[in-house]
Amino acid sequence: MKLLILSGVLIICTPGSTQSYTNKGTDFWVGYGVQGTMYNADGSVNYTDGGSQEMVLYFTSIKPANVRVEIPATGWVRTYAIGGNGYAESDPIPKTGIDDARLAAEGVSDKGIHITSDIPIGAFAHIYDKSGSALALLIPTNILGQDYYTLNFTQTSTDKNANSFGFVLATEDSTTVEITPSVNTLTHPAGVPFTQMLQKGQIYNLLGTVTGQNGGIYTGGDLTGTHIRTIVTANAPCKKIAVFAGSGNTAVSCTPGGATTSDNMMQQMYPGESWGNRYVTVPTFKMPNNYFRVMVKDPATIVNVNGTQLINLINGRYYEFQSDTPCVINSDLDIMVAQYITTSTQCNNTNNGIDGDPDMIYLVPMDQDIIFARSVSTPHYATTSHYINVIMSTFDTAAFQLDGIFRGGSFTPVLKNPNLSYAQFKVDAGGHTLISDSSFNAIAYGYGPDESYGYDIGFSFNRLTNFLSVQNPYGSPNNIPQTCRATQFKMAVNLVFQPTELVWDFLGNPNLSPNNIVDIKNAVPDSVFNYKGQTYYRYTLPGIYNYSTIGPLDLKVYTYSPTQDGCTSLFTIDYDVDVVEHPVANWSLNYNKCANDTLYFKDSSSAFSNKTIQWIWDFGDGTGSADINPVKKYAAYGDYNVALRTITDIGCFADTVKPVSLTPYPVPDFSTTPKCEGIPTNFTDLSTISYGAISTWHWNFGDGTVADVQNTLKMFPVGGPYFITLTVSNKNSCTADTTKLLYIYKYPRISASDTFVYQGNSVQLKPAYTGDSLTFKWTPPTYLNSDTAAYPVSSPQDDILYHLTVTGPGGCATPKDIFVDVIQILHIPNAFSPNGDGINDKWIITNLEYYPTADVEVFNRYGQPLFYSTNYAQKPWDGTYNGSPVPVGTYYYIINAKSKYVSRKSGYVVVLR
């Protein structure tokens, strides 16, 4: 590594030699611009209380940040912590005493205000009081330039102490600036350049003169077109400067002298490298008639508004026009555009009774738009209404979100270019988040009583010299130094000069791999290209790098170049690579897994702060697509692994693989054998499927019971018809069912009782039957006229028990026993001769043996009992009483057979000898 030798060295001036190309940064400078209320009524500076105005700073960040605000010349310091995705407001900037930072006088001030942060933030400056308000977007130090033309407005005010102003702030020591006022200032004549040496944090402030007064309206010089640049001197590098322009108080009116109120303005000038040639303007809400100024670097620049070329270039530097509709502005060379809100009620801007007042907004070219921003809608002083205008591609509006809500339906196509659309949103005071996966351009503004504020929300430009390129896996080296966490990338530096040696220093960053210092001697560019008329030499760093976290990757590139006197000059360039979260590939598919129909894939990937621009689909069957939301039909059912690779606009990629399963509906079927009630019935699954397998079965038996097995047994306690449903599914829950009628046969019902018949007679057996198509079987068939008749006739000689079996459909049989009781008739002789001859010696009653419990009583004529027996068949009466023969004669009897079928018998019997 060579050492820097300053003596006799010519340092090549490399404007814009840093690498953060957005309004976010870690280092900012700002001044406390002049405001009419800083002065007493006699025009002297108010040193008592500093005036009614206040100046505060706003900070926005998507991540927690620690911010330091200081006035280095006085030692005044404040620190602030910003919560994630939030914003913070500073204490008022001092306006009295030793820390007084106001720029109330022309000349040099050492009260530059320095803002630093540990991570990139957005920063804004706001000067306001009860009747004035100006809010400026601040530009990071690392993208400041060296050559500016201020852009103000015609100075007309109700305040006699108001001036058009412009000031330049040095960000490095020993910065020589050259200033050429466009009009007379308080101490410098118009058109006469002068130089001033400034140290870091010092400011040179210009105040235009007050030129006249008429009816309480004061006119003054308009500093628009004032040229401010750094002077390149030998042995010194170019120095970056911050330039601000505005007015302590001015009116914007369509009628000269017609303004009754006026307001302060202040904005920070954009570096010349950030100007562009395509702008789109949108009117401010409810105050649509705006003024516009278009500043040119080259007076020969051709500028068209809505297709009509502007004429009447003012002071060889700017055009001015009015419009109350969206405008498309194009030019052949780079330009800068400012939009002006008018004085309240002027130019037909009645605002429906809501106050407002002048303000100035510097616009950003359409090629420097953004995809994410945090804005601040200030509540100071009494701002009552707040708005945000957004412009973006018509085809991308659906993706736009404001404070987490998709607002695509709020956009209207631009009449002169329907490919672009705009929206005007009314918002509340406070911080707001704007995000989209496609780029947009936006301004924020608001109104209060006799005041307003307005500023461009943010920018992202990539046209600065000596820039770093990053090449991600799917991107050629781009001018936006951005990569993704955990993604391989390469780096190259693009220089407007050719060094002989390059040293890359990654400051030992532990999150970078590798992180060693790389010294490239005898450096040779690997390519040479031309951009916007500038020749660039690209030097690619060998090796592949990987960063393990998100956030800025800071690095330094030291370039060594020989000078004419043989010495070597060292030029140090600070870069930072914006490392964002790597994309996440994802997709959704709402489809019928059970039908081989057309599938509609929907990408749901996340690219965070970038935009997905390429999709690589692999459908797992040898086919693919590059559409964002492809349509696919597979040739056959099957299980496929679908892979998606998404590629962002900076070349990072992400992969995901998900299964897609297409299976047909199963064909349900089953068999069963009808059974009788109370008998288990077999249910056998016969379902089929053409691809895959059936995984679940569900039986519904129609009686409130179910089963979840493939084959089963089921007992129905009650016969009758049952609708049996089998539902089958596969792994994709492709479900089909079938229902069959099953008849469970009922058992016949028999209602019968035992019967009787008198000996020698016949009886028909008549059970009651319930059932259809019944058959009958009687056993034994003895004494029956038919053993298969429903009602056979029995002629029994003795008691008999019949077993009846009644069979119905399905072979369901019911048994029944029926007893036939044969009633024996008693034959009672009316005489017998107990004479011992062996003939009729006993009174034999035929069939009484069938009634073994029968009672037999015999009485004489006087009713005196002579004989009693309960087992007469075993010992019949032999005509005796107490062992002695009874006399011949007539005797009386009573026979109780004790049977329901035989009545009580009584009569007489004659005893003969």
Return the closest-CA partner of residue 506 out of 437, 558, 457, 567: 558
User: Is the pLDDT at 481 greater than 60, yes or no?
Assistant: yes
Residue count of the chain: 913
The pLDDT of residue 386 is 93
pLDDT tens column, 859-913: 999 999 999 998 888 889 999 999 899 999 999 999 998 888 888 999 999 999 8
pLDDT in tens, 615-631: 999 999 999 999 999 99
* pLDDT tens digit sequence for 493-510: 988 788 899 999 999 999
Span 128-152, pLDDT tens digits: 988 788 999 999 987 788 889 999 9
Average pLDDT over residues 474-493: 84
pLDDT value at residue 2: 29
Q: What is the pLDDT of residue 543?
A: 93
Q: Provide the whole-model pTM.
A: 0.58
Maximal CA-CA distance, the chain: 189
Q: Residue 514: is the preceding peptide bond cis (ω within 30°)?
A: yes
Residue 112 in contact with residue 169, Cβ under 8 Å?
Answer: yes
866, 891 contact by CB (below 8 A): yes
pLDDT of residue 382: 76
Q: Is the pLDDT of residue 118 over 60?
A: yes
The answer to whether 45 touches 205, Cβ cutoff 8 Å, is no
Q: What is the mean pLDDT of residues 544-555?
A: 92
731 conformational bin, left if phi > 0, alpha if psi -120 to 50, beta if neither:
alpha
pLDDT of residue 833: 93
One-letter amino acid of 53: Q
- H helix count then E strand count, the chain: 0, 74
> Residue range 295-304: average pLDDT?
95
Of 605 and 475, the one with more pLDDT: 605
pLDDT at 232 over 80: no
- Mean pLDDT across the chain, nearest whole number? 89
**Does residue 226 surpass a pLDDT of 90?**
yes
Query: Which candidate, 697, 703, 648, 649, places its Cα nearest to that of 681?
Result: 703
Whether the per-residue pLDDT at 594 is higher than 70: the answer is yes
Q: In 10 A of CB 517, how many CB atoms?
A: 13
pLDDT in the model for residue 353 = 57
Q: Locate tokens 């009816």: which residue?
A: 215
Q: What band does 18 get if pLDDT is binned at 50, 70 and 90?
A: very low
Q: Mean of the pLDDT values across residues 659-675?
A: 94
Mean local confidence (pLDDT), 655-679: 94
Please determine, for residue 332, whether its predicted confidence score (pLDDT) is greater than 80.
yes
- What are the start-end ranges of the H helices in 739-859? none
**Pairing, β 865-869 against β 880-881:** unpaired
How would you classify the pairing of strands 755-758 and 813-823?
A: parallel
Q: Which of 128-132, 248-252, 395-399, 442-446 is predicted least confidently?
A: 128-132
563's tokens: 């000078």
Query: Mean per-residue pLDDT for 833-857?
Result: 90
pLDDT of 865: 93
d(CA 537, CA 524): 9
pLDDT of residue 318: 96
pLDDT confidence of residue 259: 67
Residues 80-101, mean pLDDT to the nearest whole number: 92
Is the pLDDT at 856 greater than 90? The verdict is yes
Residue 704 predicted with pLDDT over 60 = yes
Q: What are phi and psi of 287, to 5 degrees?
A: -130, 65
> What percent of the chain is predicted at pLDDT more than 70?
94
Q: What is the mean pLDDT of residues 549-573?
A: 74
Read off the pLDDT of each residue in 518-547 and give the average, rounded to a whole number.
89
What pLDDT score was predicted for residue 354?
61
Task: Choose the most confident range, by mean pLDDT, from 20-29, 565-574, 891-900.
Answer: 891-900
Least confidently predicted of 212-221, 765-774, 798-807: 212-221
Q: Which DSSP symbol is given to 12?
A: P
The average pLDDT across 805-832 equals: 92
Does the pLDDT value for residue 524 go beyond 90? yes
The Cα 911–Cα 861 span in angstroms is: 13
The pLDDT score that the predictor gives to residue 552 is: 87
pLDDT band at 478 (very low <50, low <70, confident <90, very high): low
C-beta atoms surrounding 350 within 10 Å:
13
Q: What local confidence, expressed as pLDDT, does residue 53 receive?
A: 93
Is a pLDDT exceeding 50 seen at residue 294? yes
Q: What is the pLDDT of residue 609?
A: 72
pLDDT above 50: residue 454? yes
What is the per-residue pLDDT for 578? 87
Give pLDDT tens digits for 347-367.
Answer: 888 765 567 788 999 999 988
pLDDT at 380: 85
Is residue 399 helix, strand or coil? Answer: helix
Burial degree of 732 (CB within 10 A; 0-12, 13-18, 19+): middle
